[in-house]
Every structure is written in C-alpha cells, then in structure tokens.
Amino acid sequence: MDISVIIPLYNEAESLPELYAWITRVMAEHGYSYEIIFVNDGSTDDSWNVIEGIAAKDGQVHGIKFRRNYGKSPALHCGFAAAQGDVVITMDADLQDSPDEIPELYRMITEEHYDLVSGYKQKRYDPLSKTLPTKLFNATARRVSGIRNLHDFNCGLKAYRRDVVKNIEVFGEMHRYIPYLAKSAGFDRIGEKVVHHQARKFGNTKFGGLNRFVNGYLDLLTLWFLNSFGLKPMHVFGFLGSLMFAFGFIACAVVGGIKLVHICEGTPAPLVTSSPYFYIALTMMILGTQLFVAGFLGELVSRNAQERNNYQIEKTI
C-alpha cells in the first residue's frame, strides 16, 4: 500500500464528508493505493456516525474510536500503530490542511528519500494571538532540538516514511515535537514543504489559551532532558551534586580556618554562625547531597524502566 492518511479528530462532524471526498479525489487522480484512518478522539458530536457511514461505503476507510477525549498525541499514536502504507500522512480534520499537498509530500519521501517532511504554513489564517506565540515556540524548538531547517514544528500536515512512525512513541502532548522525537530515534533526513493553509471553516480551535504554551515549553524541557540525560541521570545530578558539595566543603574549610587562626593568635574567635560562609557551607552541602541522591534514584529508576534497552535497530540480516 502506498499511503496511509491518518486523521485525528475531535468534534469535526461537519468537515468530514468534504475532507473525505477531497482526499479520495486526489488519490484517484494519482492512482495511489491507500487507506484513510479516522481516529475519533472521544467526539461528543456526530463525528463517529459520519465515519461509520463513510466506512460502510468505502473499504479503504477505517476508524478508531476512543471512549473519551485523550488528546491529539494519543490519537496519532494509535493511528500510527494501525498504519500500513509505505508513506504515512497525517492531517487535521478541520479542512485547514489541503489534501492537494499529498502527491508532493509522497514524492519527497519516496524520491528525495526524506524520513519526515513537515508542512510549513507560511501564510497562516489564524488570529494573531495564535501566530505570534507560535513563532516564539518554533524558534525555541529549533534551538533545543537542533533541527535548524524547520519553521513549523506543530503543523498537522506531515508525511513520514513508515519506519519512522513505527519507531517513535508519541505520548502526552508531544505531537508538537514529532520531528524532535524522530531525530532522537535517528531519523535525521527531515525536510519541509510550504503548504497552503485555510481558515477554519466549521467549529473552533481545540488548542486555545495560555495553557498550550506553558505545557508546550515544559514538554520541550522534558524531551530535552530525556534525550540528553534520560538514560544517565547520574551524569547530570551527580556532577551538580559533587560540585555543590565541593563548594560547601571549601566554605566549611574557610569557617574552620578563621576559627583556627583566631585560636593560634590567642584572640577571642567569633561564633561560626556569624560568618556568611557557615550558611553557604550548610546549604551547599545539603543541596549537594540531595542532588546526588536524586541522581542515584534516577539511575535506579532508569535501570528498571522497561525501555532501558530499547535501541533503534534499523535493520538486521
């Protein structure tokens, strides 16, 4: 099978028939063999009935129905697990992404040998409250992930070589960072294609509000940490802990030294608690020990984690 199209959706009943018809038209024009997988993320509207209606008439259409709303990442995760096509394409259900982009995305994966091609909504039809923070978000993500050529990490329209989706795990709200996940798994041919973007026709955005940014940045921090130190927490905590402890020790020596000097000179020594070094020594040593213990516990946890020895093996013969 050439292409699997995966569409996560939450309350998008009005858009589905048009989206389905459009995708089918594009696929027929190019003669691809394909499947469409609708992942209904706990919609409370008529979406599932619409999907059932479409699937009853067209064997190339499949549906996955969540019992409740889990989020876009879990929806993508289950879609990825079910996908059978050589190239997997994800797109939003709200008709903001155009199925006309599919042939070119497919060509970039199969002929230009990209692992992942992300859409880039150069001209966006979203309110400023959405586009401005997105710019900032993308700049940070580019820096942290080291994927310098991507302008739009969170574009819903993306194409993947099948290996990529079978070897990454999208969880929580990590759909924003799929290129980063792919890169961490060793898929580094990541490209970008400028895509058309349209204003939402029906319904409202499901990702509004400030929450999105706070969570987005925390997720990025988690990924960065997992990626750099996830399997060796002692290397970061142990280092910091030892460093702090060393400073604490020096401060302690200073306090002791001052006391000694006074005793040798026979002058009355001040109380250790009147020296700032005393407090520095105290905090540094306590913090140092705690960091060290945190690293040690992290090490124990990661040694017991199920994934400790899940390495990406591309091929075996």
Partner in contact with 206, chosen from ligand UDP, Mg ion, none, beta carbon below 5 to 8 Å by kind: ligand UDP
Contact 94, 202 (CB under 8 A): yes
Q: Closest distance between ligand UDP and the C-beta of residue 73, in Å?
A: 9
CA quadruple 270, 274, 278, 280: dihedral, nearest 10:
-150
Residues that bind ligand UDP (CB under 6 A): 8-10, 12, 41, 69, 71-72, 75, 92-94, 96, 156, 205-207
Partner in contact with 105, chosen from ligand UDP, Mg ion, none, beta carbon below 5 to 8 Å by kind: none
Q: Closest distance between ligand UDP and the C-beta of residue 41, in Å?
A: 4
d(CA 152, CA 136): 11
d(CA 109, CA 107): 5
For ligand UDP, the closer CB: 207 or 247: 207
* DSSP alpha helix (H) spans, 43-191: 47-57, 72-82, 102-110, 128-145, 162-167, 178-184
Stretch that binds Mg ion, among 62-70, 84-92, 108-116, 214-222 (CB under 5 A): 84-92
> Does residue 94 interact with Mg ion by CB under 5 A?
yes
Residues in Cβ contact with 197 at an 8 Å cutoff, skipping those fewer than 6 apart: 96, 97, 121, 123, 124, 125, 126
Stretch that binds Mg ion, among 32-40, 96-104, 163-171, 272-280 (CB under 5 A): 96-104
* Residue 193, φ and ψ in degrees, nearest 5: -135, 130
> Does residue 96 interact with Mg ion by CB under 5 A?
yes
For Mg ion, the closer CB: 39 or 244: 39
Q: Closest distance between ligand UDP and the C-beta of residue 154, in Å?
A: 7
* Two tokens, residue 220: 């990025």
Stretch that binds Mg ion, among 89-97, 146-154, 167-175, 257-265 (CB under 5 A): 89-97
Contact 170, 80 (CB under 8 A): yes
Partner in contact with 170, chosen from ligand UDP, Mg ion, none, beta carbon below 5 to 8 Å by kind: none
* Two tokens, residue 148: 């310098």
Chain positions contacting Mg ion, by CB under 5 A:
92, 94, 96
